[in-house]
Structures are given as structure tokens and as C-alpha cells.
Structure 1
Amino acid sequence: MTVSVRDLRPEVRADVEGFVGVWHRALPYLVVTAEAVVHGATRAHPDAHARPLLAEENGEIIGTAQVGIAHDSPEPGQGFVNVYVHPERTRRGAGALLLRTAEEHLAAVGATTLFAWVLDEPDNRVFAERHGYRASRCAHFLRLDLANGTLPPLQALPPGVELRTAADFADDPRPLFELDAETTLDEPGDVDTEFTDYEAWLEETWRHPLNSHELTSVVLVDGRPAAFSAARTDGATRYGTTMTGSARAFRGRGLAKLAKNDSLHRARAAGYTEAFTGNDAGNGPMLAINKWFGYEVCATEVRHVRELG
């Protein structure tokens, strides 16, 4: 049996469904659909040099890799490669071949440092270390049972505070871009991110097919967006939070918690049964908020780093 690696063809449904199938088995805590995979493959910024890869064995897709450059980082040359193999198709060489192909591509487009998320399991960590990657920070996947869990009651709004949704900004989402950019600057992580390109944000984030503008809650203080909780869904049962935060001038007032609680209640009312999110292990305030909602850690990933050259 021979394993081969090739590029994902976003126009080929079997490729896209195979990609999603591997992710559903390897990362069941993510909200992902075929439409999201196609969007990521076709709408990525040119400077990202994105190259989604597939590993095949006898016509069966058994592995995937997300590959690219963090084009929105102020530090150039920050590459990423996230390899996932179907859990029942490991030890066939797919992971190593995906990694080698990704590294060659990233080196060719100017990457000097590579970052890889690795599930915190012994075999995966040994694989990463064997290929020259050293462990860095951790992050958790968290799950909340929306169907059977008990959410905190909705809070009364303080004076001057109102709740809106992202749909209310459909004609001009720039205020949400500015809020997202400010909160993202303070997210803990190995790679700093700066949102400076509004058009790129519109294409990659605002118009993402999983984004739910109706379930994304925005807190306004005296008419100014102050906090938000961004929601994505698979259109069926799964809801995910991709970012929750407050502008610096409004922190410490519980506004991010207010936004997330509103979004979760409306997601449950809309029929979503599972809620997922992810947090850096060092993000104590957000982990505390999610514990208050009833989220539980369901898996952990470890960021690994390798310097090229």
C-alpha cells in the first residue's frame, strides 16, 4: 500500500469531503463543513501562500495538512503546518510525507520559523519531536452541552448598554473590524496577529460561510461597540465561538460575558445542541468565563516550533 500527497482540489467534491472527514475523526471538537474548507482554500490572502494538502492511500483520503504563512503577523516568515491523520490510518507514513511536503513549500516561500499544533497525546508529541519540533504553549478545546446543560440566566443590561447582533452592522461592519483587531492584539499566543487590512478581514472573516451574523452578539456602550462574541455554526447542531472580548477601555465590566451569554441563549433557542470553543492555557480570564458557562475541556493541543535553517 502506497501513500501519496497532493494538493486539495477545492472544485472536486470528493477531495473536500475527504478533508472534512479526516477532521471530523481527528478533531471532533471543531465546527467545520465542506463550504468552510472551500472558502479557506480559495479565499486565502495571496501573502499566506496557503496550500491545503491531502494524503491518499489506494484512493482513500487518510490525512490532511493546513499549510501557509501568517501574513497578518508583524514578524515576517512565520509559517504554520498542522497535520492531521485519520486515527485509524496512522503509522502508514502519511504524517511524515505531509510534513515534508509542507516544510518544502514553506521554505520556498520564505518561512523561517514553523509552528504546528499537535494533539496532546504521546504518539503525536513523539512524532513532532522526532521531526525537530520543540513543545511550546498549550491550548484547550472546550465543549458545552447546550441541549441538556443549564446556562446562567440572562443579565439585566446596565444603563447605557445595549445588545445588538453582527447582522445590525451588515451595511458597515468596520466598527466590528476595529473591535476584532483590538481584542486580537491581546490574545496570548506564539504568533502575534495584527488586523490592518480591512478588505482581507471582510473576505476571510466577515464573509466566512460558517459565520453567523445573527448569533454573533455585540455589546454597545453609549452607542459604541465595546465587546462581542463571534459565532460560527454548521447550520445543523454545532455552534462555535471564535472570539470573545472587550475593547481595552471597557474591560473589567463583565461585557464580554454579557455578549457570550446572549449568544449562547440565542444559539440554544435556534436549536443548536453543542457549543465549542478554544482557549490558550494561559488565558485565565477567558477560561474562568467559560467554566462559569459550564464548558469542559475535551482535548488539549500543544504548539510546537521549529526553526528552519
Structure 2
Amino acid sequence: MTVSVRAIRPGDRSDAEAFARIRMLALPYVFFTADSVEHVLARLHPDSHYTALLAEEDGEAIGTAQLSLAHESPEPGQALLNVYVRPDRTGRGAGTALVNAGEGRLAELGARKVFSWVLDEPANRVFADRRGYRPGSTAQFLRLDLTRAELPPVPAPPPGVELRTAADFADDPRPLFLLDAECTADEPGDVDYVFDDFGTWLEETWRHPLQRHDLATVAVADGRPVAFTAVRTDGGTRYGTGMTGTARAHRGRGLAKLVKADSLHRARAAGFTEAHTGNDAGNEPMLAVNRWLGYEVCAQEVHHVRELG
């Protein structure tokens, strides 16, 4: 059996479908579809040098990798490399081949430090350690069965706050971009990001095909967004929240709990049966909100880093 690695062919639907299928088998808590794979390939900023790789064994796709430069970080030379192999095709050399190819490409681009998320399972952590990756922060995946959960009622908004959806900002989403940028700057993580390009945010985030603006709740005060939760779905019955954030001046008022609860109720009313979210393991305020909503931890990933050269 021979394993080879190649980049996804832009516009090749079968490549996009294979990539999405492997990612959903290896990491079912993060949604991928062929449409989302094609969107990222076509829309990510050119400075990211984003590349999607497929590992094939005798013509069968069995592994994936995503690599890019962290071009929105104020620290140059940082890069991202995430590798996933089909659970029933591990131990065949696909992971090693993908890491070698990914690191080689990133080194060519001038990367000096590579960050990678690794599922918190013994075999995966041993693999990362042998490759010279050091563990860092931990993130948790959480799940909620919407067919059985007794959701708490949506709290009453504080005085002067009203609830809308992201869809209400379709004509001018810039206020949501500004709020997203402020919240992202304060998000826990090993890589700092500065979002200051509205056009890039529109292409990469707002217009992402899995976004559901009608399910994304926004808290508004004095005519501007002050808290929000972003929503993506898998094209079926699974719903997930990504970023949930509150403007600095409005923190401590329960707005994160408010927007997440309202969005969950919207999702269940729309027929979604399974809810997913994720958190930095050290973000206790948001973990408390998710426990209150009924979420339970279903898996963990550990952020690893390796110095190149």
C-alpha cells in the first residue's frame, strides 16, 4: 500500500466531498461540507496561503490537512497545521506524510512556529510528541441533545437591551464585524489576532455557506450590537455556535447567557436535534453558561506548537 499527498484541486467537487467526509468522520464536532471546503479554498485571504491537502492510499482519500499562515497575527512567522486521518485508516503513514508535506510547505513560506490542534487521545498525543510538538492550552467540545434537553427559559433582557438576529443586519453587517473584532481580540488562545479588514471578514465569515444568520442572536443597546452568538449548521439537523462575545463595556450583565439561550430556543423550534459548541478549557465564565444550558463535554483537543528550523 502506498500513501501519497497532494493539494485539493480547485473546482473538483469530488475532492471537496472527500475532504469534508474525512473531516466529519475524524472530528464530527466541527461542521464541514463540500460547499464549505470550496468556499474556504476560494475566499480565504491570499496572505494566508491557505492550502488543503489530501492523503491517498492507492487512490482512496484517507487523510486531510489544512495549513496556513496566521497573517492576521501581529507576530510574524506563525502558522497553522491541522491533520486528521480517517479513524479506520490510521497507522498507514497518512498522518506522517501529511505533516511532512505541510511543514515543508510552511517552511517555504517562512513560517518559524507551527500550531496544531491534536485530539486529546493517547495515540494522537504520542504522535505529536514524536514529531517535536509541545502541548499547550486545551479546548473542549460540548454537545446537547435538543430532542431531550429541558432548555432553561430565555432570561429577560436587561433594561435598554433588545434581541434581534444577525439577519436583521443583512443590509449593513459592519456593526457586527466591529463587535466580532473586539471580542476576538480578547478571546483566550495561543495566537493573537487583529481583525481590521471588513472586506475579508465579509468574504470569509459573513458569507460562509454554513452560517445561519436567522438563528444567530444579537443583543442590541442604544441602536448597536453589544453581544452576539454566531451560528453554523451542517445542512441537516445539527446546529453549532462558534464565537459568542460581549462588548467590553457591557460585560457582567448576563448577555452571553441571554443570546445563547435565545439562539438555542430558535434552533430547536426550527427542527434542529443536536447542538454543538466549543470552549477554551480555561474560559470558566462561558463554560458556566454552557453548563447552565445543559451542554456536556464530549471530547477535547490540545493545542500544540513546534518551532521549525
TM tier relative to shorter chain: over 0.9
Instruction: Report deviation, 1:73.
Output: 1.0
Query: Shift of the alpha carbon at 1:287?
Result: 0.7
What's the counterpart of residue 128 of structure 1?
128
Q: Is residue 47 from structure 1 mapped to residue 47 from structure 2 by the alignment?
A: yes
1:252 aligned residue: 252
The match for 1:226 is 226
TM superposition shift of 1:113: 0.3
The amino acid across from 1:57 in the alignment is E
| Structure 1 counterpart of 2:15 | 15
Structure-1 residue corresponding to 2:110:
110
Give the structure 1 partner of residue 139 of structure 2. 139
Matched position secondary structure for 1:88: helix
**What are the residue-to-residue correspondences of 1:28-107 with 2, within 5 Å?**
28-107=28-107
Could you report, residue by residue, the CA deviation over 1:14-52 in whole angstroms, capped at 9, with x for unpaired residues? 211111111121111112211111111111110101010
Q: CA deviation at 1:158?
A: 2.5
Give the letter aligned to residue 109 of structure 1. L
Partners in 2 of 1:202 and 1:78 — Cα distance? 24
Q: CA deviation at 1:263?
A: 0.6
Name the counterpart of 2:306: 306
1:172 alignment partner in structure 2: 172
Instruction: Give the partner amino acid of 1:135.
Output: P
Question: Using the alignment, how far apart are the partners of 1:10 and 1:297 within structure 2?
Answer: 36
Letter in 2 for 1:157: P
Distance 1:286 1:70 in 2: 25
Paired letter, 1:28: P
| Gap runs ≥5 in structure 2 | none
Equivalent residue, structure 1, for 2:4: 4
CA RMSD of aligned residues (A): 0.9
Superposed CA offset, 1:205-242 (max 9, x none): 01000111101110011222110011111231011101
More deviation, 185-194/22-31: 22-31
Q: Percent identity?
A: 67
Decide whether the 8 Å contact of 2:23 with 2:84 is kept in 1.
yes
Q: Secondary structure at the match of 2:11?
A: coil
The one-letter amino acid of 1:94's match is A
Counterpart of 2:84 in structure 1: which amino acid? Y
Q: Deviations over 1:86-145 (max 9, x none)?
A: 011011110001000000110111111000100011110111111111111110111111
Which structure 1 segments of 5+ residues have no match? Answer: none
1:214 match: 214
Tell me the TM-score normalized by structure 2.
0.98
| Aligned equivalents of 1:106, 1:152: Cα separation in 2 | 46
2: CA distance, partners of 1:41 / 1:116:
19
Q: Tell me the equivalent position of 2:188.
A: 188
* Rounded Cα–Cα distance in structure 2 between residues aligned with 1:199 and 1:212: 19
Q: Does 1:267 align with 2:262?
A: no
Aligned length: 309
8 Å CA contact 2:158, 2:253 repeated in 1: no
Q: Write the distance in 1 (CA, Å) between the matches of 2:248 and 2:227.
A: 9
For residues 97 and 32 of structure 1, the distance between their equivalents in structure 2, rounded to whole angstroms, comes to 22
Counterpart Cα distance in 2 of 1:82 and 1:138: 15
Letter in 2 for 1:64: T
1:239 maps to which residue? 239
SS of residue in 2 equivalent to 1:271: coil
- Normalised TM-score (structure 1): 0.98
Deviation at 1:57, TM superposition (A): 0.6
